[in-house]
Structure 1
Amino acid sequence: MRSFSQAQALIAESVLLDSRLALFHERENWLAVADLHFGYELSQRVAGRLVPFWGMESIEARLCQLLRDYRPATLILLGDLVHDKTGANEFFSLVTRLREQCDVILIAGNHDAQIKRTDLRDSFATDRFEFHHGDCEREQNGCIQIIGHFHPAAT
Structure 2
Amino acid sequence: MTAVEVVDADAFRRAMAQLPTFVTVITTRSPDGPVGCTVNAVVSLSLEPSSVVVSLRTGGRTLEHLRATGAFAVNALAWEQRELCRRFASGDPARRFDGVRHVLRDGVPVLPGAVAVVGCVLEDALEVHDHTLVVGRVVWSTSGEQPALVLRAGEHHRC
Instruction: Please state which structure has a larger fraction of its residues in helix.
Output: 1
> Is TM (by shorter chain) over 0.5?
no
TM range (shorter): under 0.3
Higher strand share: 2
TM norm structure 1? 0.24
Larger RCO (CA under 8 A, 6+ residues apart): 2
TM-score, length basis structure 2: 0.24
